Structure 1
Amino acid sequence: MNKERKITYHDISKKANVAIGTVSRYFNGEKISDKTRIKIDNVLKEINYVPNFAASTLRKKSSDIYVVTPSSENETINMPLINGIKFELNLRNINFFQFMSSPNPEMYEKDIKYINQRNPLGIISFMPKKINTSLIKTLKEIKSSEIITYNYEIEGVKHHCINFPEIFKNLAEKIDEKLPNNNIAFLGIKNADTLNQKMFQEVHNNFINGIKKSSVTFHYLEKNDFSLITQWMEKTAEYCPANIVVCETHVLSVSLYEFLYRNNLRDKFIISDIGKDDFSQKMVDADIKITIDYFKVGRQIVKSFFGETTTKEQIYKISFK
């Protein structure tokens, strides 16, 4: 009987017509293009390749936790959040691995299955903005590894969410206290990503319920986009009765600030911003700032993974000029 030939990185790279280093990055969870990932996937499927570690780790669960992030040229990784996760895992002597996946839900699902083959202690899933039922089903069916999702709820799966509805309710109450008797425009997203739809609705409800001494009008854009906010401002800046504009996202705040500054309208409005304490938030120079400590949020995600309570920990502050 012929001995089964061992498949090497060289064999895979030759069949996929990619560099050996690219194959290595594929198996180490490092970033490669979706096109290249698909080519390697197809080769592995063709040769029915199963990584050696898949069989060897079935006997013993590792002490590794993988943070899976959807990554593309148009998205940036929240490094304070990642660093908070890594810090808390290091305190617990648990190995940290970051796996850069694709924003494409099909590719993301394949990567989740691939990581699960390594039999890790757990997976922290930063969900892609676009999801499908197959991805949800896969996450619910994985039992060998503990899974926790960030800012997305799946029935039967652990999750950790920033309480944005509470943050905006607190903001409304502080505006009522410090800036009463004004006209407020709440600038939000009409067709929010599936990822945030439920949460965004709660944000709107909590904000309007928290304002008692001012009038509020809601203005919805189709998406987080500079060109859309420019169109909105061009139509409303001259006659908009509001003198306070509360922005639901940091992207909206940046876009609004740029438009107002460029058109010498900055002094006409009091504007709010929400985000992490970095250069981008300082650049906006908002009158009202919600600053989120994402390093602390990262630590909270790990605590939630291990079933620890984090609800009493303050992760944001609201400041007025």
Structure 2
Amino acid sequence: MVTINDIAQKAGVAKSTVSRYLNGGSVSQKTRDKIDKIVNETGYSPNTFAQSLKAKNTKMIGIIVPRLDSYSANEVLSSVDRTLREKEYQLLITNTDQSSEREIENIYTLAKQKVAGIILMATVVTEEHKKVISEIDVPVLLLGQQAEGLHSIGHQEFEAGYAMGRHAGSLGHKNFLYFSVFKEDIAVGQHRANGVLTALNEETDVNVDIIETSFSFTKAYELALEILPKTNATYILCATDNIAMAVLKAAHTLQLRIPDDFSLSGFGGYEVTSIVSPSITTVKYGYKELGETAVEKLFQLIKGESIEENTLIPNYLLKRESTVSNVKKVE
């Protein structure tokens, strides 16, 4: 493999001269032409990661994710990484296991590593988050959450919830159960939930029970095992596809049949929801578009350009086998 030392020897110049050339520093045109020729002949490619560690303006972007076992987070990560590689930027990934304290620590850590910008997929956004972001001299873009005074990219959560609620109501069901998540989660626990409840409340003579659960598949499954034998709901809505899959597993464990015993739906558009039987009605989110837009907006912030505070990505309803009309069969 050709190194910077090889280039320096072939050009008859010092290693520091080649380093200045690679980093856009002051080099005479004659020397530049000579090094250009050698670089083209050898096919030398500089280590952009090593370069960025030494540069004042690095070619690294940091991203903070809440957990690594999330389909949505991994889809966004893939999109962000692919888009950054096209721009010849490196991606540094840090995981927090849904800990706000670790999110704040990682913001400081990435800033110390001189990243050009940070994408933060926060579990919740606290005043401490806002304080830290205001202290560091690095552009930060929220992904999936919103907070006053901070730039964010997210999904049309209320619209997604409303579309699913309208679909559920249109099927003639009267008793609903909604597995939601903690209200501190603005996107899912509030906006998505409000969309569902707004649509269902437009129906007549309906009853909606709300149960708070976790994003964790295991915890949602254990709770579903407890709740399903007690509910009279004929339609169960789940705040995420992960929770819907947990309810599906619990139904199988309890020998309940979907959609015969109850209809089931989720949010996210995870691939697995189209593979299981019955396939699960869900809302498909644009994770690829979210990642691409996040990179575009973050680069605008890095350049000092003005952007809108909140950008929302649209989604669409996928009607599948798990939801049916609540028409009782005549025996």
Summarize deviations over 1:231-259 as a string: whole Å, max 9, x none: 111222xxx0x322111222321121112
Summarize deviations over 1:4-26 as a string: whole Å, max 9, x none: xxxxxxxxxxxxxxxxxxxxxxx
Residues 1:99 and 2:89 are matched in the alignment: no
* Residues in 2 aligned to 1:309 and 1:183: alpha-carbon distance in whole angstroms: 39
**Which residue matches 2:57?**
61
* Residues in 1 aligned to 2:243 and 2:53: alpha-carbon distance in whole angstroms: 48
**1:162-173 map, 5 Å:** 162-173=155-166
- Structure 2: gaps (5+ residues): 1-49, 301-306, 322-331
**1:13-162 map, 5 Å:** 57=55, 60-71=56-67, 78-91=73-86, 93-103=87-97, 104-127=99-122, 129=123, 133-142=127-136, 144-162=137-155
Distance change in 2, residues 1:204/1:114 (3 Å): closer
Summarize deviations over 1:290-314 as a string: whole Å, max 9, x none: 2223222222222333338996854
* Residues in 2 aligned to 1:281 and 1:250: alpha-carbon distance in whole angstroms: 11
What SS class does the counterpart of residue 78 from structure 1 fall into?
Answer: helix
Distance change in 2, residues 1:169/1:79 (3 Å): same
* Residues in 2 aligned to 1:86 and 1:54: alpha-carbon distance in whole angstroms: 17
Partner of residue 177 from structure 2, selected from 176, 186, 190:
186
**Which residue matches 1:223?**
214
Aligned length, in residue pairs: 256
Partner of residue 292 from structure 2, selected from 296, 299, 307:
299
* Residues in 2 aligned to 1:165 and 1:176: alpha-carbon distance in whole angstroms: 16
State whether residues 183 and 189 of structure 2, in contact with CA within 8 Å, keep that contact through their aligned partners in structure 1.
no
Partner of residue 277 from structure 1, selected from 246, 270, 283:
270
Distance change in 2, residues 1:247/1:77 (3 Å): closer
Distance change in 2, residues 1:170/1:260 (3 Å): same
**Which residue matches 1:7?**
none
Cα RMSD after superposing both structures:
3.3
State whether residues 268 and 284 of structure 2, in contact with CA within 8 Å, keep that contact through their aligned partners in structure 1.
yes
* Residues in 2 aligned to 1:293 and 1:201: alpha-carbon distance in whole angstroms: 20
**Which residue matches 1:245?**
236
Residues 1:319 and 2:308 are matched in the alignment: no
Seq. identity, %: 14
What SS class does the counterpart of residue 267 from structure 2 fall into?
Answer: strand
Distance change in 2, residues 1:290/1:98 (3 Å): same
TM-score by length of 2: 0.65
State whether residues 276 and 294 of structure 1, in contact with CA within 8 Å, keep that contact through their aligned partners in structure 2.
no
Tell me the amino acid that sits aligned with residue 268 of structure 1.
D
1:205 to partner: Cα distance:
2.9
1:124 to partner: Cα distance:
0.6
Tell me the amino acid that sits aligned with residue 264 of structure 2.
I
State whether residues 75 and 287 of structure 2, in contact with CA within 8 Å, keep that contact through their aligned partners in structure 1.
yes
State whether residues 65 and 73 of structure 2, in contact with CA within 8 Å, keep that contact through their aligned partners in structure 1.
no
- Structure 1: gaps (5+ residues): 1-51
After alignment, is 280-289 or 111-120 more displaced?
280-289
**Which residue matches 1:254?**
245
* Residues in 2 aligned to 1:85 and 1:271: alpha-carbon distance in whole angstroms: 32
Distance change in 2, residues 1:135/1:204 (3 Å): closer
State whether residues 67 and 73 of structure 2, in contact with CA within 8 Å, keep that contact through their aligned partners in structure 1.
no
